[in-house]
Amino acid sequence: MSTNTYTVTGMTCGHCVASVTEELGEIGGVTDVAVDLPTGAVTVTSDRPVDDAKIRAAVEEAGYQLAG
């Protein structure tokens, strides 16, 4: 099992959280996505390591950006 935390910028509401959660949840191997809206922290749990490029692409597909 692998768990990584990312910072996503631009989220302002529950709909934002749902969009990011949905896109990240579609990545193969992802088993859980937890979003903390006030801080922008997004914790992704997966059954195998997930390439950061796939995380970035999913966040951008949802309309947001990874910090850093």
Per-residue pLDDT at 14: 96
Location of structure tokens 């937890």: 34
**Cα separation values, 50 from 3, 14, 53, Å:** 9, 25, 8
**Cα separation values, 44 from 10, 22, Å:** 18, 12
- What is the pLDDT averaged over residues 40-57? 97
Tally Cβ neighbours within 10 Å of residue 15: 9
- What is the pLDDT averaged over residues 43-49? 97
**pTM attached to this predicted model:** 0.94
Identify the structural domains of the chain with CATH numbers, from first to last. 2-66 (3.30.70.100)
Integer-rounded Cα radius of gyration of the chain: 11
